[in-house]
Amino acid sequence: MKNIQFFDTTLRDGEQTPGVNFNTKEKVQIAKQLEKWGIDTIEAGFPIASVGDFEAVKAIAENAEKMTVAGLARCQKADIDRAHEALQNAKHPQIHVFLATSPIHMEFKLKMTPDEVIASIKEHVSYAKTKFDKVQFSPEDATRTDKQFLLKAVQTAIDAGATIINVPDTVGYSNPTEYGGLFKFLIENIQSDEEIIFSSHCHDDLGMATANALAAIENGACRVEGTINGIGERAGNTALEEVALALYIRKDFYEAQSNITLNETKRTSDLVSRLSGVAVPRNKAIIGANAYAHESGIHQDGVLKNPDTYEIITPSLVGVNENSLPLGKLSGRHAFATKMDTLGYQLTEDELKVAFKRFKSLADKKKQVTEDDLIALMVGQSQECSEDYRLERVQLQYVSDGSQGAIVSINTGEDESKTESAIGSGSIQAIYNSIDKIFVQKPELQEYYIKAITGGEDAQAEVHVTLADTENNKQFNGIGIDFDVLQASAKAYVKASEQFQKEVGKA
């Protein structure tokens, strides 16, 4: 069986999802989980894009143990130098250089002739090779590029030192037959004394990202690029968890394997969903809430007699397990620390002290604290520690005309607290109106979504909100986790408002 490498770009391409903005601490946390999941290479960011991106790439490079850490760079020496600076402490560094090759991109975006594009590829891939052993080149918008020119661009990059060639379907234009054929054409026609790794990178604009990635593998690709949960700009990217399970379940067909630890899939998905604020649809393949639910009587009867009748993937395969060691209010610090370690959290003494205090508070309200509760607790702690604004108090009161009143206090940094009150037709609206008055803002609430983290009346609430700045067509996601629904709703709105303030300012 051939081995398929997994290249994750959740922290780069995935962060281009409207409203998604990971901070450095969250990126490192996701990176550690991706390494545990089995990712071979992580695209940690675009170092020259911002100071924040540079710091995140640098931090991930210093924390990654096994996986290769890649930085994105345009065909510009300043980009390559900045990526080299960010990755200088990585155990396994790689640079990913790209330049568009399609006629529409060359004419309208680059304003370069085909000859100028070829010259730039040669110059900058050669320059990147002087600083990195692993150089990847991507001809952006490859699927709308003339095949002969694409071959020339790819051959130029290989001759200049690139050993990894990514073939991006940048706008989700291709289909499996066409995309697979493109890989076959390139692999048959390139010339190199070194082994060249060909990689797929697909977008889901026509709903074929996963199918296209698998078609590429059928036709010689040994690497697949994508994101967790398929997040990304527009309709998103190839969902890596879908490719991983397809290769495993249909290994008879693909005759391929990967380094992915499948039972870490659900945990990885949940972490990205909670930190990004992008909820996973219930009918999402592999990791959606309905993926293993059977409502049809015929289906239920079949599954009870033999799960293989309607289940090709068992819940345990992807990490949907019953909690084997629930904790309660009598559990001690050692049991808590051991459990957190098994969940993949290496906490400092100070972090453990704060986490254990939050756990005991939660355990006083719940009979049993599940793994999902603990993961949510850590996500909430991570977010609250990184916030500039912190929710201090929410007070509700009934108003005689049937409205609800709310008083909200928020710490705005340096121990400065602001309090405002407002009314609304319901409790949530009253809370959100109060927060808007504190921030002096007028965003549009586009989405409010609430779910229980676990079953039962004592479940924690997880609230997702999306705010929009209609003038600039920008979105801002926030997530709040708390035992109390109203508290979780307020936390989510404060989180989204913090991003709104940073990007838009006061309305």
Residue type, 10: T
Where is the binding site for Mn(2+), in residues?
Answer: 13, 201, 203, 237
pLDDT at 233 over 80: yes
Is the per-residue pLDDT at 167 higher than 60? yes
> pLDDT tens, 350-361?
889 999 998 988
Half-sphere exposure at residue 398, Cβ-oriented, CA atoms within 13 angstroms: 2
Q: What is the pTM of this model?
A: 0.83
> What is the structure's pLDDT at 381?
72
**Region 308-321 average pLDDT:** 79
**At 324, is the pLDDT very low, low, confident or very high (cuts 50, 70, 90)?**
very low
Binding residues: 13, 201, 203, 237
Q: Which of 65-79, 187-201, 218-232, 487-501 has the lowest mean pLDDT?
A: 487-501
Each residue of 19-58: pLDDT tens digit? 898 989 899 999 999 999 999 999 999 999 999 999 999 9
Banded model confidence at residue 386, pLDDT cuts 50, 70, 90? low
Q: Taking residues 436-443, report their average pLDDT.
A: 94
- Work out the angle at residue 19's Cα, subtended by the Cα atoms of residues 245 and 84, and round it to the nearest 5 degrees: 75
Residue pLDDT, tens place only, 119-132: 999 999 999 999 99
- Quick one: which of 449, 499, 501 has its CA closest to 274? 449
Residue 296 has pLDDT above 70, yes or no: no
58 burial via Cβ count (<10 Å: 0-12, 13-18, 19+): buried
User: To 10 degrees, what angle do helices 371-386 and 24-37 make?
Assistant: 150
pLDDT of residue 170: 98
Domain spanning 2-276 has what CATH number?
A: 3.20.20.70
Average pLDDT, the chain: 91
What the block records as the tokens of 160 is 């200049």
Mean pLDDT in residue range 317-336: 75
- Taking the C-alpha atoms of residue 22 and residue 11, their distance in angstroms, rounded to an integer, is 8
| Kind of pairing between the strands at 404-411 and 390-398 | antiparallel
Q: CATH classification of 390-505, choosing from 3.30.160.270, 2.20.25.90, 3.90.76.10, 3.30.565.10? A: 3.30.160.270
Alpha helices in 160-310 (DSSP H): 176-189, 209-218, 240-249, 251-254, 265-276, 297-305
Q: What is the pLDDT of residue 301?
A: 61
- Residue 26, C-beta contacts closer than 8 angstroms, at least 6 positions apart: 275, 382, 383, 386
Mean pLDDT for the stretch of residues 228-254 = 97
Are 441 and 501 in contact, with CB atoms under 8 Å apart?
A: yes
Is residue 391 pLDDT above 50, yes or no?
A: yes
pLDDT category at 507 given cuts 50, 70, 90 is very low
Which tokens hold the place of 293?
């639910």
Tell me the β-bridge partners of 406: 396, 422
Which residues does 378 contact at the CB level (< 8 Å), separation at least 6? 340, 343, 345, 355
Query: How many other CB atoms are there within 10 angstroms of residue 109's CB atom?
Result: 12
Distances (CA, A) of 76 to 71, 72, 82, 119, 420: 13, 11, 10, 12, 50
Give the Å distances, CA to CA, from 458 to 256, 257, 305, 362, 370. Answer: 44, 41, 33, 10, 11
Q: Taking residues 339-367, what's their average pLDDT?
A: 85
Q: Say which DSSP state 360 is in.
A: H
Alpha-carbon distance of 17 to 237, in angstroms, equals: 10
Model confidence band, residue 384 (pLDDT cutoffs 50, 70, 90): low
Paired tokens of 154: 């790819």
